[in-house]
């Protein structure tokens, strides 16, 4: 007897997670609770697929690098997975806000370096290293299903 995903309608033959969309499936046995990922900060995370997508939202910023780190987070935030899964949407929004903030900081430090005839360039090294470190920390946390909030966020542009 074929069993279908309650989220996307694909056949999953009684598996715990849908092979198509990764959403957790209710156990077909009577009286058995459905899977709830308690480490996802209160969200019923759709399993390893959503953890991987959230991880790539953070890691994409690290890999894209200078000035372009916000693009992977924006793409993931607009994806169908983020529209279905609040955990992925929240983490992609967090990554997008962080990358946009550091883009603004890098531009300001670059201008400061020009204005001070190169003395301000020493700050530029820190403005390159910190986003790399925090991006790695965020990708590790989200790969295991934890919520990650970046430290030193002065403001969030995207809600």
pLDDT at 74: 92
CA distance 55 to 148: 10
Question: Do 24 and 93 belong to one domain?
Answer: no
DSSP annotation of 29 reads S
Question: Do 62 and 110 belong to one domain?
Answer: yes
pLDDT at 80: 87
pLDDT at 159: 83
Question: Do 78 and 14 belong to one domain?
Answer: no
158 domain residue, yes or no: no
Question: Do 130 and 98 belong to one domain?
Answer: yes
Question: Do 99 and 31 belong to one domain?
Answer: no
156 domain residue, yes or no: no
pLDDT at 142: 93
Among the listed residues 148, 112, 122, 144, the one whose alpha carbon sits nearest the alpha carbon of residue 133:
148
Question: Do 117 and 55 belong to one domain?
Answer: yes
Number of domains in the chain: 2
> Residue for token digits 């959503």?
50
Question: Do 96 and 126 belong to one domain?
Answer: yes
CA distance 159 to 147: 16
Contact 108, 116 (CB under 8 A): no
139 half-sphere exposure, CB direction, 13 A CA radius? 19
Contact 61, 69 (CB under 8 A): yes
Question: Do 31 and 52 belong to one domain?
Answer: no
pLDDT at 75: 93
Which mean pLDDT values do the consecutive 10-residue runs of the chain (159 residues) have? 67 72 60 36 58 92 84 91 90 93 89 86 82 92 91 82
150 domain residue, yes or no: no
Question: Do 27 and 54 belong to one domain?
Answer: no
Per the structure, the complete domain to which residue 98 belongs is given by 48-143
99 domain residue, yes or no: yes
Question: Do 54 and 92 belong to one domain?
Answer: yes
Question: Do 17 and 90 belong to one domain?
Answer: no
pLDDT at 29: 36
CA distance 69 to 117: 27
Question: Do 25 and 64 belong to one domain?
Answer: no
pLDDT at 69: 86
pLDDT at 44: 44
- Other CB atoms within a 10 A radius of the CB of residue 41 amount to 16
Whole-Å CA distances, 6 to 26, 52, 59, 70, 77: 9, 21, 30, 33, 23
């Amino acid at each position: 007897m074929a069993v279908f995903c309650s989220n996307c309608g694909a056949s999953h033959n009684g598996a715990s997670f849908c092979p198509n969309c990764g959403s957790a499936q209710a156990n077909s046995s009577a009286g058995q609770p459905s899977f709830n990922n308690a480490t996802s900060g209160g969200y019923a995370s759709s399993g390893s697929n959503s953890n991987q997508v959230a991880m790539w939202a953070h890691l994409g910023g690290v890999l894209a690098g200078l000035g372009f780190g916000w693009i992977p987070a924006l793409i993931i935030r607009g994806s169908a997975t983020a529209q279905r899964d609040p955990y992925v949407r929240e983490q992609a929004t967090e990554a997008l806000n962080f990358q946009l903030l550091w883009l603004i900081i890098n531009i300001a430090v670059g201008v400061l370096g020009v204005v001070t005839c190169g003395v301000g360039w020493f700050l530029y090294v820190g403005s390159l290293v910190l986003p790399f470190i925090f991006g790695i920390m965020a990708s590790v946390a989200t790969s295991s299903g934890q919520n990650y909030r970046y430290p030193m966020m002065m403001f969030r542009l995207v809600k």
